[in-house]
Structure 1
Amino acid sequence: MVPPSSSGCAFATIEADPTSTILGFEPVVIYGAATLGCVGLGWLAGPTVGGALWRLTHRRVKGAIEAKDKDFFRHISRWRADPSRQSAANPSPDYYAEKVGSLQQYRTWLRDQASFKRKAQFGQGKDAVY
Protein backbone atom coordinates (compact mmCIF):
# COMPACT_ATOMS: atom_id res chain seq x y z
CA MET A 1 0.00 0.00 0.00
CA VAL A 2 1.25 3.52 -0.85
CA PRO A 3 1.66 5.73 2.24
CA PRO A 4 -0.63 8.78 2.28
CA SER A 5 0.98 12.04 1.22
CA SER A 6 -0.99 14.35 3.50
CA SER A 7 -2.89 14.27 6.75
CA GLY A 8 -6.18 14.55 4.83
CA CYS A 9 -5.39 11.32 3.00
CA ALA A 10 -4.38 9.66 6.25
CA PHE A 11 -7.64 10.64 7.94
CA ALA A 12 -9.70 9.64 4.91
CA THR A 13 -8.31 6.10 4.91
CA ILE A 14 -9.05 5.41 8.59
CA GLU A 15 -12.03 3.14 9.07
CA ALA A 16 -14.60 4.80 11.30
CA ASP A 17 -16.34 2.75 13.98
CA PRO A 18 -19.30 4.67 15.37
CA THR A 19 -19.20 2.73 18.63
CA SER A 20 -15.60 3.66 19.50
CA THR A 21 -15.00 7.14 20.87
CA ILE A 22 -12.03 9.10 22.17
CA LEU A 23 -12.89 11.13 25.27
CA GLY A 24 -16.55 10.89 24.27
CA PHE A 25 -15.99 12.29 20.76
CA GLU A 26 -15.75 10.56 17.41
CA PRO A 27 -12.18 9.92 16.28
CA VAL A 28 -12.53 12.24 13.26
CA VAL A 29 -13.31 15.19 15.55
CA ILE A 30 -10.31 14.43 17.78
CA TYR A 31 -8.02 14.03 14.75
CA GLY A 32 -9.23 17.36 13.33
CA ALA A 33 -8.71 19.13 16.65
CA ALA A 34 -5.24 17.59 17.00
CA THR A 35 -4.35 18.73 13.48
CA LEU A 36 -5.53 22.29 14.19
CA GLY A 37 -3.64 22.22 17.49
CA CYS A 38 -0.44 21.22 15.72
CA VAL A 39 -0.93 23.95 13.13
CA GLY A 40 -1.45 26.55 15.86
CA LEU A 41 1.56 25.37 17.84
CA GLY A 42 3.70 25.46 14.70
CA TRP A 43 2.47 28.95 13.90
CA LEU A 44 3.39 30.15 17.40
CA ALA A 45 6.69 28.31 17.80
CA GLY A 46 7.87 28.44 14.17
CA PRO A 47 9.44 31.92 14.18
CA THR A 48 11.21 31.29 17.48
CA VAL A 49 12.62 27.91 16.47
CA GLY A 50 13.37 29.09 12.92
CA GLY A 51 15.17 32.20 14.16
CA ALA A 52 17.24 30.16 16.61
CA LEU A 53 18.21 27.66 13.90
CA TRP A 54 19.12 30.49 11.52
CA ARG A 55 21.34 32.13 14.17
CA LEU A 56 23.06 28.80 14.82
CA THR A 57 23.75 28.14 11.14
CA HIS A 58 24.75 31.70 10.17
CA ARG A 59 27.10 32.71 12.97
CA ARG A 60 29.59 34.42 10.65
CA VAL A 61 27.16 36.94 9.19
CA LYS A 62 24.91 37.37 12.24
CA GLY A 63 26.91 40.29 13.66
CA ALA A 64 27.05 42.14 10.34
CA ILE A 65 23.30 41.74 9.77
CA GLU A 66 22.48 42.89 13.30
CA ALA A 67 24.73 45.95 12.83
CA LYS A 68 23.00 46.82 9.54
CA ASP A 69 19.58 46.35 11.15
CA LYS A 70 20.53 48.62 14.04
CA ASP A 71 21.83 51.26 11.64
CA PHE A 72 18.69 50.97 9.49
CA PHE A 73 16.35 51.35 12.47
CA ARG A 74 18.35 54.32 13.76
CA HIS A 75 18.01 55.91 10.32
CA ILE A 76 14.29 55.09 10.18
CA SER A 77 13.66 56.61 13.60
CA ARG A 78 15.33 59.81 12.44
CA TRP A 79 13.03 60.29 9.43
CA ARG A 80 9.69 58.89 10.56
CA ALA A 81 6.78 61.18 11.27
CA ASP A 82 5.28 61.81 14.70
CA PRO A 83 2.21 59.55 14.96
CA SER A 84 0.59 61.72 17.65
CA ARG A 85 -0.59 64.06 14.89
CA GLN A 86 -2.58 61.43 13.01
CA SER A 87 -6.32 61.68 12.45
CA ALA A 88 -9.02 59.75 10.62
CA ALA A 89 -8.44 61.87 7.53
CA ASN A 90 -4.65 61.64 7.78
CA PRO A 91 -3.55 58.26 9.20
CA SER A 92 0.08 57.71 10.08
CA PRO A 93 2.02 55.76 7.41
CA ASP A 94 4.09 52.63 8.11
CA TYR A 95 5.74 53.69 11.40
CA TYR A 96 8.38 50.96 11.69
CA ALA A 97 9.03 50.70 7.93
CA GLU A 98 8.03 47.04 8.00
CA LYS A 99 7.06 47.07 4.34
CA VAL A 100 10.44 48.37 3.18
CA GLY A 101 12.27 45.67 1.28
CA SER A 102 14.11 47.57 -1.42
CA LEU A 103 15.60 50.96 -2.15
CA GLN A 104 12.54 51.93 -4.19
CA GLN A 105 10.22 51.02 -1.30
CA TYR A 106 12.45 52.98 1.08
CA ARG A 107 12.21 56.07 -1.12
CA THR A 108 8.43 55.65 -1.26
CA TRP A 109 8.40 55.33 2.53
CA LEU A 110 10.38 58.58 2.85
CA ARG A 111 7.94 60.38 0.52
CA ASP A 112 4.99 59.05 2.55
CA GLN A 113 6.56 60.28 5.79
CA ALA A 114 7.21 63.73 4.32
CA SER A 115 3.67 63.89 2.95
CA PHE A 116 2.24 62.95 6.36
CA LYS A 117 4.35 65.61 8.10
CA ARG A 118 3.23 68.23 5.57
CA LYS A 119 -0.45 67.32 5.92
CA ALA A 120 -0.22 67.21 9.72
CA GLN A 121 1.44 70.64 9.84
CA PHE A 122 -0.42 72.53 7.13
CA GLY A 123 -3.68 70.58 6.66
CA GLN A 124 -5.11 69.20 3.47
CA GLY A 125 -7.84 70.05 0.99
CA LYS A 126 -9.84 73.19 1.76
CA ASP A 127 -8.31 73.36 5.28
CA ALA A 128 -4.78 73.66 3.90
CA VAL A 129 -2.62 76.60 4.94
CA TYR A 130 -0.26 77.66 2.16
Structure 2
Amino acid sequence: MRTSLARRVLAPLRASMSTTTTAPASSSSGQLSWPEFLSIRRARRRWELATTIPSTILCGVGGGAYFFSLEGDSSVPLFGIDPLYVYAAAGIGSTGLGYLIGPSIGGWAWRMSHRARLALIDARERELHKRILKYRVPPELTPANNPRLPDFYGEKIGSLHDYRRWLRDQARYKRKAEWSEGEGA
Protein backbone atom coordinates (compact mmCIF):
# COMPACT_ATOMS: atom_id res chain seq x y z
CA MET A 1 0.00 0.00 0.00
CA ARG A 2 2.79 2.37 0.87
CA THR A 3 4.65 1.90 -2.42
CA SER A 4 1.48 2.25 -4.49
CA LEU A 5 0.76 5.57 -2.79
CA ALA A 6 4.28 6.78 -3.51
CA ARG A 7 4.00 5.70 -7.16
CA ARG A 8 0.65 7.40 -7.57
CA VAL A 9 1.85 10.64 -5.99
CA LEU A 10 5.23 10.79 -7.74
CA ALA A 11 4.12 9.51 -11.17
CA PRO A 12 3.14 12.96 -12.54
CA LEU A 13 6.44 14.41 -11.37
CA ARG A 14 8.43 11.60 -12.99
CA ALA A 15 6.45 11.95 -16.22
CA SER A 16 7.18 15.66 -16.42
CA MET A 17 10.84 15.00 -15.65
CA SER A 18 11.18 12.37 -18.38
CA THR A 19 9.63 14.56 -21.08
CA THR A 20 12.22 17.29 -20.64
CA THR A 21 15.80 16.19 -20.30
CA THR A 22 17.70 19.46 -20.74
CA ALA A 23 17.04 23.04 -19.80
CA PRO A 24 17.17 24.50 -23.35
CA ALA A 25 14.70 21.90 -24.62
CA SER A 26 12.28 22.74 -21.82
CA SER A 27 12.41 26.44 -22.67
CA SER A 28 11.74 25.89 -26.36
CA SER A 29 8.82 23.50 -25.84
CA GLY A 30 7.01 25.81 -23.45
CA GLN A 31 7.38 23.45 -20.48
CA LEU A 32 9.27 23.91 -17.27
CA SER A 33 10.59 20.78 -15.59
CA TRP A 34 10.07 20.29 -11.87
CA PRO A 35 13.75 20.37 -10.91
CA GLU A 36 14.22 23.53 -12.96
CA PHE A 37 11.12 25.12 -11.41
CA LEU A 38 12.21 24.25 -7.88
CA SER A 39 15.67 25.72 -8.45
CA ILE A 40 14.05 28.90 -9.83
CA ARG A 41 11.78 29.01 -6.78
CA ARG A 42 14.79 28.65 -4.48
CA ALA A 43 16.56 31.48 -6.35
CA ARG A 44 13.50 33.72 -5.93
CA ARG A 45 13.53 33.14 -2.17
CA ARG A 46 17.23 34.06 -2.12
CA TRP A 47 16.46 37.32 -3.93
CA GLU A 48 13.78 38.10 -1.35
CA LEU A 49 16.18 37.39 1.50
CA ALA A 50 18.98 39.38 -0.14
CA THR A 51 16.79 42.48 -0.39
CA THR A 52 15.42 42.11 3.13
CA ILE A 53 18.77 42.84 4.78
CA PRO A 54 19.57 46.13 2.97
CA SER A 55 15.97 47.37 3.18
CA THR A 56 15.94 46.74 6.93
CA ILE A 57 19.22 48.61 7.38
CA LEU A 58 18.22 51.50 5.08
CA CYS A 59 14.81 51.99 6.68
CA GLY A 60 16.28 51.70 10.18
CA VAL A 61 19.03 54.23 9.47
CA GLY A 62 16.70 56.55 7.56
CA GLY A 63 13.93 56.39 10.15
CA GLY A 64 16.39 56.75 13.00
CA ALA A 65 18.08 59.73 11.35
CA TYR A 66 14.75 61.44 10.75
CA PHE A 67 13.08 60.76 14.09
CA PHE A 68 16.14 61.41 16.24
CA SER A 69 16.77 64.71 14.47
CA LEU A 70 13.37 66.05 15.57
CA GLU A 71 13.32 68.41 18.51
CA GLY A 72 11.23 67.07 21.33
CA ASP A 73 9.95 69.15 24.21
CA SER A 74 9.56 67.04 27.34
CA SER A 75 6.90 69.37 28.70
CA VAL A 76 4.61 68.65 25.73
CA PRO A 77 3.95 64.90 25.55
CA LEU A 78 3.06 63.13 22.31
CA PHE A 79 0.22 60.65 22.74
CA GLY A 80 0.62 61.16 26.47
CA ILE A 81 4.24 59.91 26.40
CA ASP A 82 7.61 61.63 26.45
CA PRO A 83 8.55 62.52 22.82
CA LEU A 84 11.92 60.76 23.10
CA TYR A 85 10.16 57.42 23.63
CA VAL A 86 7.72 58.08 20.78
CA TYR A 87 10.59 58.92 18.40
CA ALA A 88 12.53 55.84 19.50
CA ALA A 89 9.47 53.65 18.88
CA ALA A 90 8.98 55.28 15.47
CA GLY A 91 12.63 54.58 14.59
CA ILE A 92 12.26 50.94 15.60
CA GLY A 93 8.97 50.80 13.70
CA SER A 94 10.64 52.06 10.54
CA THR A 95 13.23 49.28 10.90
CA GLY A 96 10.40 46.75 11.17
CA LEU A 97 8.72 48.27 8.14
CA GLY A 98 11.94 47.84 6.16
CA TYR A 99 12.06 44.19 7.23
CA LEU A 100 8.49 43.67 6.00
CA ILE A 101 8.96 45.55 2.72
CA GLY A 102 12.24 43.83 1.77
CA PRO A 103 10.78 40.53 0.49
CA SER A 104 8.19 42.41 -1.57
CA ILE A 105 10.90 44.48 -3.22
CA GLY A 106 12.99 41.36 -3.86
CA GLY A 107 10.01 39.49 -5.31
CA TRP A 108 9.17 42.42 -7.57
CA ALA A 109 12.78 42.73 -8.78
CA TRP A 110 12.96 38.98 -9.38
CA ARG A 111 9.71 39.03 -11.39
CA MET A 112 10.96 41.95 -13.49
CA SER A 113 14.19 40.10 -14.29
CA HIS A 114 12.39 36.84 -15.23
CA ARG A 115 9.53 38.24 -17.31
CA ALA A 116 10.19 35.97 -20.29
CA ARG A 117 9.35 32.78 -18.36
CA LEU A 118 6.91 34.23 -15.85
CA ALA A 119 3.83 32.50 -17.30
CA LEU A 120 5.52 29.10 -17.09
CA ILE A 121 6.75 29.75 -13.56
CA ASP A 122 3.32 30.92 -12.40
CA ALA A 123 1.66 27.84 -13.94
CA ARG A 124 4.07 25.52 -12.10
CA GLU A 125 3.55 27.53 -8.90
CA ARG A 126 -0.21 27.02 -9.16
CA GLU A 127 0.29 23.31 -9.83
CA LEU A 128 2.59 22.95 -6.81
CA HIS A 129 0.08 24.84 -4.67
CA LYS A 130 -2.68 22.42 -5.74
CA ARG A 131 -0.45 19.48 -4.81
CA ILE A 132 0.31 21.03 -1.44
CA LEU A 133 -3.39 21.57 -0.75
CA LYS A 134 -4.15 18.00 -1.79
CA TYR A 135 -1.49 16.20 0.25
CA ARG A 136 -0.95 18.31 3.34
CA VAL A 137 -2.33 17.41 6.73
CA PRO A 138 -5.76 18.88 7.39
CA PRO A 139 -5.59 21.51 10.14
CA GLU A 140 -8.44 19.87 12.03
CA LEU A 141 -6.14 16.92 12.83
CA THR A 142 -3.95 19.23 14.89
CA PRO A 143 -4.39 18.84 18.64
CA ALA A 144 -4.89 22.02 20.64
CA ASN A 145 -1.96 21.32 22.95
CA ASN A 146 0.52 20.81 20.05
CA PRO A 147 -0.46 23.04 17.11
CA ARG A 148 2.74 22.43 15.13
CA LEU A 149 2.16 21.00 11.64
CA PRO A 150 5.12 19.88 9.51
CA ASP A 151 5.75 22.67 6.93
CA PHE A 152 2.05 23.36 6.33
CA TYR A 153 2.63 25.66 3.33
CA GLY A 154 5.51 23.73 1.72
CA GLU A 155 7.92 26.63 2.10
CA LYS A 156 10.93 24.37 2.60
CA ILE A 157 10.45 22.51 -0.69
CA GLY A 158 13.50 23.34 -2.79
CA SER A 159 14.10 20.13 -4.75
CA LEU A 160 12.40 16.86 -5.64
CA HIS A 161 14.13 15.27 -2.67
CA ASP A 162 12.64 17.94 -0.40
CA TYR A 163 9.20 17.39 -2.00
CA ARG A 164 9.37 13.65 -1.35
CA ARG A 165 10.48 14.28 2.22
CA TRP A 166 7.59 16.75 2.62
CA LEU A 167 5.15 14.09 1.35
CA ARG A 168 6.55 11.51 3.78
CA ASP A 169 6.34 13.96 6.69
CA GLN A 170 2.75 14.84 5.85
CA ALA A 171 1.76 11.17 5.55
CA ARG A 172 3.56 10.29 8.78
CA TYR A 173 1.85 13.13 10.68
CA LYS A 174 -1.54 12.22 9.22
CA ARG A 175 -1.12 8.54 10.19
CA LYS A 176 0.01 9.52 13.66
CA ALA A 177 -2.92 11.92 14.14
CA GLU A 178 -5.50 9.43 12.85
CA TRP A 179 -4.00 6.62 14.94
CA SER A 180 -4.10 8.69 18.12
CA GLU A 181 -7.70 9.70 17.34
CA GLY A 182 -8.77 6.07 17.04
CA GLU A 183 -6.98 5.19 20.27
CA GLY A 184 -8.71 7.92 22.29
CA ALA A 185 -12.23 7.00 21.17
Structure 2 equivalent of residue 103 of structure 1: 160
SS in 2 for 1:81: coil
The answer to whether the 8 A contact 1:22-1:30 is kept is: no
Offset at 1:39?
Answer: 2.5
Q: State which structure, 1 or 2, has the greater radius of gyration over its C-alpha atoms.
A: 1
Separation in 2 of the partners of 1:82 and 1:40? 32
* Greater relative contact order (CA < 8 Å, ≥ 6 in sequence): 2
The one-letter code of the counterpart of 2:127 is D
**Which residue number in structure 2 is paired with residue 15 of structure 1?**
none
Aligned to 1:112: 169
Cα deviation, residue 38, structure 1:
4.3
The residue that corresponds to 2:71 in the other structure is 22
Give the residue type in structure 2 aligned to 1:82. P
Relative to structure 1, the CA distance from residue 90 to residue 67 in structure 2 (aligned partners, 3 Å threshold; closer, same or farther) is same
Residues 116, 34 of structure 1: alpha-carbon distance in 2 compared, 3 angstrom cutoff: closer
Distance (Å, rounded) in 2 between the aligned partners of 1:59 and 1:71: 19
Matched, 1:43 2:43: no
SS in structure 2 at match of 1:122: helix
Structure 1 residue 50, shift from structure 2 partner: 2.5
Instruction: For 1:1-130, list aligned pairs within 5 A.
Output: 22-24=71-73, 36-87=92-143, 88=145, 91-123=148-180, 127=183
Distance 1:90 1:123 in 2: 15
TM-score between both structures, scaled by the size of structure 1 = 0.61
Higher helix share: 2
RMSD: 3.2
Of 51-60 and 81-90, more deviation after overlay is shown by 81-90
Query: Cα distance 1:89–1:30, how it changes in 2: closer, same or farther (>3 A)?
Result: closer
Q: Closer, same or farther in 2 for the Cα pair 1:123/1:30, shift >3 Å? A: closer
Helix, strand or coil for the counterpart of 2:71?
coil
Give the paired residue count.
106
Whether the 8 Å contact between 1:86 and 1:120 is mirrored in structure 2 is yes
The 8 Å contact of residues 90 and 119 in structure 1, kept in 2 or not, is answered as no
What are the Cα deviations for residues 22-55 of structure 1, in whole angstroms up to 9, with x where unaligned?
A: 2248xxx999777645422321222222222222
Structure 2 residues not aligned, in runs of 5+: 1-60, 75-84
